[in-house]
A and B are shown apart, each in its own frame.
Chain A
Amino acid sequence: MLGFAMTRRRLLAAGGCSLAASVVLGAGRAPRLAAIDWAMFETAQALGHAPVAAAELIRLRRETALPPAPGTVDLGLRGAPNLEALSLVAPDLVLSSNYYGFIEAQLSRIAPVFSRDLFLPGEAPLPRVEAALTALAERIGDPVAGQGALAAHLAAFEALATRARAFANRPLCVVEIGDAQHVRAFGADSLYGGALDRLGLVNAWREVTRFGFNAPVPLARLADFPEARIVIAGKIPVAARRDIARGALWNALPAVAGGRVIQLPNGNPFGGAASAQRFAAQLVAALEDEGTA
């Protein structure tokens, strides 16, 4: 009986809340957004509606392309956000994605949830995160911001693509180094793969991306692309640096032997349009550097 009573009160509370939210969202006051998903966080930032709270803020600050405003509240883990912290910030809208579908019920007890499927195996995510820009803008009643952000994003990519044209001769293999023996390779269904595509560059890695963090690819697979440039997205872990540097196989890879390795700073491979754009900008700059050097 206790459970039932509580459920009913919750339902009433949730109903009232969503009603209030839609009124507020419609009235044009800056909505209070709370981001569980990082791509959604960047989407909101890009619209100029900085979320008042975000999950895993410590790491987010390091990785995101659009740093959170000072005073942003940390919501804890993305997979297990702190519901008390979330209700304290009293959001009008919670931003989530398909990765956190299993906690959506809990989130929607606190505020309405705006969730989009962003990263799906075998599907290009860039159009999806771009669509999220306009969809979220409409949801929070600021469609102009959405159109503006999308236009700016597309224009920036267009400019980068022009510069990248000079480097379309060789395919690129974008990887993240796990340890001295393993890498994660980014395919067409990853944000980075999508960025390559948008830049008019060829992605050497034809397979799907293994999104799970423990599904690495053996280093030896890189030998399958003798022509390619290797792009290392993100810093090499300390423990792997020495072994990578003196590994016989690594040094024998045609790209390494031919000096065709590009090292990029840390990024956010599961971010939004802004992260894709940052990756593209860093990549093009590094390619140009290499070309001039």
Chain B
Amino acid sequence: MTRLILWAPLAGLLALGLWGLAAVQQLPLADWPALPYDAAGMRLEQILLAFGTMPRGMVALLVGAALGLAGALMQAVLRNPLADPTTLGLQAGAQLALVAATLLAPGLLAFGRGPVALAGAALATGTVLALAARRGFAPVTVTISGMLVGLLCAAIATALTLSRGEYLLSLVIWNGGALTQQDWSGAAILAAVLLPALALALLMARPLLLLSLGGEGARALGLPAMPLRLAALSVAVVLSATVAAEVGLVGFVGLAAPAIARRLGARTIPQRLLLATLAGALLLSLTDSALMLLAAAGGPVLPSGALTGLIGGPLLIALLPRLRATVPPETEAGDRPAPRARHPGRVLLVLAVLLPVLSLATLMAGRGPGGWGLLDPALRETFLPLRATALLASLAAGALLAGSGAILQKLTANPLAAPEVLGVTGGASLGYAAAIFALPSPGALELALGAGGGAALALLALSAYALRAEMAPARLLLAGLGIGALSSAVLAAIMASGDMRAWAVLGWLSGSASRATPLGAAALTVLALLLAAGGMLAGRWLQILPLGGAVAGALGVPVAGVRLALILGAGLATGAASVLVGPVSFIGLMAPHIARSLGLKRPRDFLAGAMLTGALLMGLAAFGARSLAYPYDLPLGLFATLIGAPWLFAALMRRT
């Protein structure tokens, strides 16, 4: 706590100073209006300060505080250092509700965005908790469920947007976490929600401490666990929904603020709640003031929400070495191993037979101007090459992502590891963006190499850092989330530049299988086959490595070299696949999960099953993406999420 006494006032002064600098640049202190502010008697510059910059500074503090408190509450209730409004799908739920209301029932929004956002956030949280309750609120399960619900919401929102012929994100982005204000109403609403929420949270502090003993321990001390959990989570939901309604998506603060609080030595629950609130407020305030100064100095105007990732991501990674992996293994007791298939060969055979069946079906059937139907023989000449190219590319991309996920899961002995979760696709995004910016007119090969290189670099950075810690799951996930947040912040900044290159990034985000060229499809297929062959050859390594570096080393495995080779392979596979699919698909997480729940446990069976499942999922996704909203081609990666996530939900619900 001594560090705290040193740091908190320092950070507070810095935040105030930075904001003051931005404000004084706008209007010299001597000209500042006197209280109380009344627009009628002020000059325009004074109004800009008193109803623009001042409420903005206040909103930054309040939003940061609200997210920090929401994150701290969720982490205390779920005993999960990874819980926050973003990872639990809350913000995505609120956004989906806002998008749906804008498109389908704009009248609802006339009463303000708050109620709609709240309904969406509550629904998303309810879904996550329903899934989590079946598994005893095990942290990893809660995190998976939350991320899946978040992805599903984002996928539905995008599909809704695109199927109505609107441009991707165009609805959401106007409100992409920019804190600009033009009066005090936003600050008033946020304060009216935050202050009672903070009081409620502090009232709940002692019961929450009991809850940290676990549900049974709390019950033994006479505390009803369920109502308390619900009450605390409701407070967090209201907080995040209010933020989503007022300023849009501001990622990462809810995750970073409690981590900073812990790092500063907050030990008891009241300390954590208060410090996380404070840390969140200062974090966002610093970010926003820095952005104001940047804009005043002629720099780009960036939304703060996009930038919290830019600062929060690396900050979190920097904090990680000091953060103990706080997920005790026994809390995952609800996670009983799935049965192992007695005849894995037969399971694989079924998958392998399904693949050509599905391929043939999607080649011959589909939707055209006349509705659903089989391909007209007269059109075969034109359509079959088009469809075959797209199908081949999708199958290969699915297999590549799934194979890379399976390898990463074995490498880290972490069922949550996936190229998407570990920031590998985030790295691929950065590499893709770098290729777009560095080269005058990058071709498919340059883009693939850029994305692949970015993916491998992200993986290397991640593993260089995590290998020392034997890849402790919680730590690795946090680092991955950090890279992911960083890359989405960079992508957002590129989009905000508003020039041609933004369109290329946009085109990638809404990636479609029909974009594949025959050569690209062939290259992806060769890569997928190489990955499969390499994986089979590395089967024994994949069996030994999950046992940890010590055991693997003692058995004579050249651990560092093998890890490096596998990481590079997985990185390149992910990069190549994401050129086609775009950065979001979660096939790399879902396919290995499905393979595992089919009882494929031995590394070679597991890898083969995951790759086949990934190919099947992506093949189905490509079919659905081109048919469902014909003639609108939905983004392939988002459609893959739409298909795979419910399957994974079912798997999560079943295994109790």
Contact = CB atoms under 8 A, between A and B. Distances in A.
Contacts of B112: 239, 242
Nearest to A243: B185
Contact of B632 (A76, A87, A99, A178): A76
B167 interface: yes
Interface string B210-227: 000000000000000000
Nearest to A3: B522
Interface in B514-555: 514-515, 517-519, 521-523, 525
Contacts of A293: none
Given A9-B385, A214-B174, A214-B492, A252 B47 contact: yes
Interface stretch (B397-405, B452-460, B495-503): B495-503
A121 B175 CA distance: 24
Contact of A239 (B44, B109, B166, B389): B109
B630 interface: yes
Given A76-B631, A214-B492, A56 B165 contact: yes
B180 A75 contact: no
B498 A212 contact: yes
B443 to A, nearest CB: 9
Given A247-B182, A252-B51, A82 B631 contact: yes
Interface in B420-461: 441
Contacts of B70: none
B47 A249 contact: yes
Contacts of A217: 301
Contacts of B169: 213-214
Interface stretch (A18-26, A148-156, A218-226, A271-279): A218-226
Given A211-B498, A239-B113, A249-B183, A83 B386 contact: yes
Of B165, B174, B368, B503, the most chain A CB neighbours within 10 A belong to: B174
B506 interface: yes
A161 to B, nearest CB: 30
A272 to B, nearest CB: 18
Of B51, B170, B502, B631, the most chain A CB neighbours within 10 A belong to: B631
Given A73-B369, A80-B633, A88-B369, A214 B180 contact: no
B182 A250 contact: yes
Contact of A76 (B167, B185, B633): B633
What's the dominant secondary structure at chain A's contact region? helix
B173 A219 contact: no
Interface in A1-51: 2-4, 6-7, 9-10
Q: What size tier do the contact residues of chain A reach?
A: 35 or more
A88 B168 CA distance: 26
Given A181-B181, A214-B176, A99 B301 contact: no
A180 interface: yes
B632 A121 contact: no
B476 to A, nearest CB: 31
Nearest to A87: B382
Nearest to A60: B165
B379 to A, nearest CB: 8
A146 interface: no
Contacts of A3: 518-519, 521-523, 525
Interface in A237-276: 237-239, 241-243, 246-254
A179 B174 contact: yes
B271 interface: no
B558 interface: no
Interface string A36-79: 00000000000000000000111100000000000001111101
B102 interface: yes
7 contacts: A6-B385, A6-B388, A213-B174, A214-B498, A218-B178, A223-B45, A238-B109
Given A3-B519, A214-B495, 6 more contacts: A84-B386, A213-B169, A223-B44, A238-B109, A248-B47, A253-B44
Interface of B: 39, 42, 44-45, 47-48, 51-52, 102, 106-107, 109-110, 112-113, 162, 164-170, 173-176, 178, 180-185, 301, 303, 366, 368-369, 379, 382-383, 385-389, 441, 492, 495-500, 502-504, 506-507, 510-512, 514-515, 517-519, 521-523, 525, 626, 630-633, 635
Interface of A: 2-4, 6-7, 9-10, 56-59, 73-77, 79-85, 87-88, 98-99, 101-103, 105-106, 120-121, 178-182, 209-220, 223, 226, 237-239, 241-243, 246-254
A-B residue pairs, 6 tightest by C-beta: A3-B522, A212-B498, A249-B182, A214-B173, A178-B174, A210-B498
